Amino acid sequence: MTGLRIAALAALVTMVSAEAALAEFTKISQRDQFVQLVDGRTLSRTLVSLQVTPDGAISGTGAVWDVTGQWSWQDGFFCRNLNWGGDDLGYNCQEVAVNGAAIRFTSDRGAGKSADFRLQ
């Protein structure tokens, strides 16, 4: 019984920790909120540096290749077309969330993979 209790407690702690980590980010649902966060700032992560401008442009570098694209705000999501080093990465609508100077983009309207950037 003791082993089972420890396993149950460990599972509970893991669930609570994961929930707390998710709670730290606040979803951005309005275009104006998003623009206020990114306007004039650089979104950066390892080997990636991007600018996202209010007029719908995306530019920067990913590794050593240029990144270009366009974005719009649709139904509470950041929707973008992106080209990286000549490769079309396609169209995707992403959930945006923020935690201080960290901004998270989660693909497929929040159901896919996430990428965290620093706002500088």
Going from the first residue of the chain to its last (120 residues), give the mean pLDDT of each consecutive group of 10, the final group possibly shorter.
41 41 84 98 97 98 97 99 96 98 98 98
Please compute, for residue 30, the number of CA atoms within 13 A of its CA located in the half-sphere on the CB side: 3
Does 73 map to a domain? yes
Does 56 map to a domain? yes
pLDDT of residue 7: 40
Does 19 map to a domain? no
Task: Give the pTM.
Answer: 0.79
Does 18 map to a domain? no
Does 38 map to a domain? yes
pLDDT of residue 110: 98
Look at the chain and report how many structural domains it folds into: 1
Does 40 map to a domain? yes
pLDDT of residue 21: 53
Domain interval for residue 67: 26-119
Cα–Cα dist 57/69, whole Å: 6
